[in-house]
């Protein structure tokens, strides 16, 4: 959807957005110390794994030759609250960039901001919570999910355009690029809203107190999480291990917009820091493009087959391993925050 490659941004923009994202993360860690408990940490992990798996499934957008996939930022914000949601999104995108080569390392700050900040700190508190301010019902969940997803994706897509503009990417003139990015992400936002509403409605019916606690910034306390965690865990395996075979082969909204604007989906990255980070990423990406590493001849042969569904053990392994790594990182993040919280309590006691 909006996983920017390093070639799209300059070191100045990448560095600025990384610092901004780090600041938001630090603020989230500080605020989260007031509401995090042992019950929310496993939900952070499982939700991170689920969103990771869901992002692997691109759905075709009829009549465009493009595709989109779930961003998941609204899901994370609604179920975890904005602070845990933002940190979980950062965990997802870090695992994707390091181990799967999805999204650039220089662009990491941009990607977290575009997919996490607007959902967790703009669309969730000002749009979704407005719709549910008089109480949670299925209709209000639907309206809030649709409106917030649409706005969040429009803001994220516009940020991508601004970031390329500020990076001096003359191959992507502002007017043409924005006129392609905004409508295609409007279509993606509709699907995002529908999926978000469906999942939130399921959780609300299973454990309504999860949504209430998250909305009020309270610890989960003695809420029973077994049903929700079990359902989401099963979904991670099924979505990442099986449904990922049925992903659309069409370029996603960002790639499609770049190709329509610049004539090619992949812009050439300059030497220097771009080249250095690319080399680092090629070494850390154990499952590049969500598949086993292959020689150029094997890649060419695989592309020639172009079968659908793309029944591929590498894709299944990527979905399950990526989900597990994301779960581990999100849980580790949560436990580090808990340790900081306990240390502060001991210090003030």
Vertex 106, ends 101 and 109: CA angle to 5°?
100
Residue 185 clears pLDDT 80, i.e. is over it: yes
What's residue 37's pLDDT? 87
Residue 297 clears pLDDT 70, i.e. is over it: no
Please report which helix (H) or strand (E) contains residue 280, including its range: helix 273-284
Domains of the chain: 6-348 (1.10.1760.20)
pLDDT mean over 312-338? 96
* Cα–Cα distance for residue pair 149/166, rounded to 1 Å: 26
pLDDT mean over 33-48? 92
Please list, in sequence order, all residues whose beta carbon lies within 8 angstroms of the beta carbon of residue 40, skipping any fewer than 6 positions away: 80, 84, 219, 220, 334
pLDDT in tens, 108-150: 999 999 999 999 999 999 999 999 999 999 999 999 999 999 9
pLDDT in tens, 232-287: 999 999 999 999 999 999 999 999 999 999 999 889 888 899 999 999 999 999 99
* Cα–Cα distance for residue pair 91/305, rounded to 1 Å: 34
- Token code pair at residue 248: 């659309």
Q: What percent of the chain has pLDDT over 70?
A: 96
Residue 296 clears pLDDT 50, i.e. is over it: no
pLDDT mean over 155-181? 97
What's residue 335's pLDDT? 95
C-beta of residue 102 within 8 angstroms of C-beta of residue 286: no
Res. 349 pLDDT band, cuts 50 70 90: low
Residue 56 clears pLDDT 60, i.e. is over it: yes
Least confident of 84-88, 92-96, 312-316: 312-316
Residue 180 clears pLDDT 90, i.e. is over it: yes
What's residue 307's pLDDT? 72
Give which of 5, 2, 56 is closest to 317, Cα–Cα. Answer: 56
What's residue 348's pLDDT? 78
DSSP letter at 125 equals I
C-beta of residue 169 within 8 angstroms of C-beta of residue 267: yes
């Amino acid at each position: 959807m909006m996983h920017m490659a390093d070639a799209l941004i300059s070191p100045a923009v990448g560095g600025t957005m990384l610092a901004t994202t780090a600041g938001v993360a630090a603020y989230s860690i500080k605020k989260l110390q007031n509401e995090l408990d042992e019950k929310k940490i496993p939900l952070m992990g499982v939700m991170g794994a689920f969103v990771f798996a869901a992002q692997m499934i691109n759905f075709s957008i009829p009549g465009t030759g493009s595709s989109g996939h779930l961003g998941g930022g609204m899901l994370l914000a609604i179920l975890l609250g904005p602070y845990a949601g933002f940190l979980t999104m950062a965990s997802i995108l870090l695992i994707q960039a390091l181990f799967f080569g999805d999204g650039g390392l220089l662009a990491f700050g941009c990607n977290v901001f575009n997919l996490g900040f607007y959902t967790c700190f703009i669309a969730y508190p000002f749009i979704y919570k407005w719709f549910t301010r008089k109480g949670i019902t299925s209709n209000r969940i639907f309206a809030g999910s649709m409106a917030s997803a649409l706005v969040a994706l429009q803001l994220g897509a516009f940020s991508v355009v601004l970031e390329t503009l500020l990076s001096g990417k003359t191959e992507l003139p502002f007017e043409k690029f924005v006129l392609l990015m905004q409508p295609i992400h409007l279509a993606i936002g509709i699907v995002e809203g529908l999926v978000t509403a469906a999942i939130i409605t399921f959780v609300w019916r299973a454990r309504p107190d999860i949504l209430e606690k998250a909305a009020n910034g309270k610890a989960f306390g003695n809420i029973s999480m077994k049903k929700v965690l079990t359902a989401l865990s099963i979904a991670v395996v099924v979505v990442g291990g099986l449904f990922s075979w049925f992903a659309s082969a069409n370029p996603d909204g960002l790639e499609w917009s770049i190709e329509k604007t610049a004539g090619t989906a992949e812009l050439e990255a300059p030497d220097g820091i771009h080249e250095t980070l690319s080399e680092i990423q090629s070494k850390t990406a154990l499952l590049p493009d969500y598949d086993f590493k292959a020689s150029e001849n094997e890649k060419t042969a695989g592309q020639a087959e172009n079968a659908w569904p793309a029944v591929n053990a590498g894709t299944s392994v990527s979905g399950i391993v990526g989900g597990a790594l994301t779960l581990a990182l999100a849980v580790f993040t949560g436990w580090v925050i808990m340790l900081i919280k306990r240390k502060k309590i001991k210090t003030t006691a």
